[in-house]
């Protein structure tokens, strides 16, 4: 993954964390301010991670391929029913990246 896309993902995660902290602080302030209401605190909508893009997935797979794991990358694509990345269903990008992360990581 390129440094810019990693940075963009990190910034988005920080923003999501900041929003969650703000919500928690507001809830605690209301809870301990003595201004209790009969209504239950409103549950915020769950924060959704932004959908992965073809370019983000391509960046990770190209790094693995350049590191000498081209055959393993091809096997992964076939696992998801494709001969090339553009044929992979975008709903499988996250799982594909999880699988790709272990390529080359001997444990």
Q: Which pLDDT does position 95 carry in this prediction?
A: 93
Question: Are 24 and 63 found together in one domain?
Answer: no
Residues 81 and 103 in one domain: yes
Residue 83 burial (CB count, 10 A)? 10
Query: Which positions ≥6 away from 27 have C-beta within 8 Å?
Result: 41
Number of compact structural domains in the chain: 2
Q: For the residues 53-75, what does the mean pLDDT come to?
A: 92
- Name the residue range of residue 15's domain: 1-39
Question: pLDDT (tens digit, 9 = 90+) per residue, 5-55?
Answer: 777 777 777 787 777 788 888 888 888 887 655 555 566 677 777 888 999
In this structure, is residue 65 part of a structural domain?
yes
Q: What pLDDT does 35 receive?
A: 60
Whether 56 and 35 map to the same domain: the answer is no
pLDDT at 32 (0 to 100): 82
Per-residue model confidence (pLDDT) at position 72: 94
């Amino acid at each position: 993954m390129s440094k810019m896309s990693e940075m963009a993902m990190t910034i988005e995660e920080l923003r999501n964390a900041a929003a969650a902290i703000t919500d928690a602080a507001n809830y605690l302030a209301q809870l301990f301010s003595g201004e209790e209401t009969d209504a239950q605190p409103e549950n915020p909508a769950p924060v959704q991670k932004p959908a992965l893009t073809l370019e983000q997935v391509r960046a990770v797979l190209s790094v693995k391929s350049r590191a000498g794991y081209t055959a393993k990358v091809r096997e992964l694509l076939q696992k998801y029913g494709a001969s090339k990345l553009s044929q992979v269903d975008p709903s499988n990008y996250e799982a594909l990246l999880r699988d790709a992360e272990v390529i080359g990581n001997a444990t």
